[in-house]
Every structure is written in C-alpha cells, then in structure tokens.
C-alpha cells in the first residue's frame, strides 16, 4: 500500500517532489520557518510539501475543506 496524503485529492495531480526551496521562499526567509518546523523530523521528509506549488483552484478548495473539516478554521 502506498502513502496517500490528505493534501492531494487525486494522486495523479501530485508533482514530483520539490527538492529545493523555491527562490521566493528563500527571499522572504520563509525557508527558515520551514527548517524550524521540520527540525528533528527529517524521517518524515515533509519539506517538499511546503515547496510544492498548488495552482489548481479545485486543489486549493479541497485543501480548504480539509483544513476546516479538521477544526483548524
């Protein structure tokens, strides 16, 4: 059984893992926040989730439903 993230509604929409922080993330020093949030949790390999752009409006709406569905909003 393969891992299925709740961040993606359909597995065919998942891009290849982003291995580096995008330039804008570094320019805004947001890479430091990602580093702090993932420190000590390297085994989860969660940085690519922060680096992957989501341009599809349906994917954004899906993530919003998940976010509010879990009581975070």
Mean pLDDT of all residues in the chain?
A: 81
Number of domains in the chain: 1
Asked if the structure places residue 42 within a domain, the reply is yes
Asked if the structure places residue 10 within a domain, the reply is no
CB contact at 8 A, 15 and 55: no
CB contact at 8 A, 4 and 11: yes
Q: What is the pLDDT of residues 37-72, one digit of tens each?
A: 999 988 888 888 888 888 889 988 988 888 887 766
**Domain coverage including residue 36:** 17-69
Which residue's structure tokens are 């065919």? 12
Q: Say whether pLDDT at 5 is over 80.
A: no
Asked if the structure places residue 2 within a domain, the reply is no
Asked if the structure places residue 62 within a domain, the reply is yes
């Amino acid at each position: 059984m393969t891992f299925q993230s709740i961040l993606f509604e359909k597995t065919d929409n998942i891009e290849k893992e982003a291995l580096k922080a995008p330039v804008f993330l570094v320019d805004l020093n947001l890479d430091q926040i990602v580093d702090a949030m993932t420190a000590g949790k390297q085994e989860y390999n969660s940085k690519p989730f922060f680096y992957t752009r989501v341009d599809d409006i349906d994917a954004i709406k899906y993530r919003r439903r998940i976010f509010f569905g879990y009581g975070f909003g």
